[in-house]
């Protein structure tokens, strides 16, 4: 059973995951429109790397070692 603190931490990670997914979608959309003044390719790789880290952190907190999908 998870404690209140663990529930809050998990909720914050899930919120961060949702925010990162929205930002990645925005950056990919800007790339499709060739708006490179607004975003760059490095930004996309950094966001995707952060998303992977958040997914792994969520998986660890849920107790399964596999990646969270």
C-alpha 64 chain-centroid distance: 18
Alpha helices in the chain (DSSP H): 4-32, 41-62
Query: So where are the chain's domains?
Result: 9-62
Q: What are the pLDDT digits (tens) for 30-56?
A: 888 888 777 888 888 999 999 999 999
The predicted-structure confidence for 7-37, as pLDDT tens digits, reads as follows: 899 999 999 999 999 999 999 998 888 887 7
- Between CA 61 and CA 54 the distance in angstroms is 11
């Amino acid at each position: 059973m998870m404690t209140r603190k663990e529930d809050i931490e998990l909720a914050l990670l899930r919120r961060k995951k949702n925010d990162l997914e929205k930002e990645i979608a925005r950056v990919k959309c800007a790339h499709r429109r060739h708006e490179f003044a607004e975003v760059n390719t490095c930004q996309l790789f950094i966001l995707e790397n952060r998303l992977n880290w958040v997914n792994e952190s969520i998986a660890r907190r849920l107790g399964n070692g596999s990646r969270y999908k």
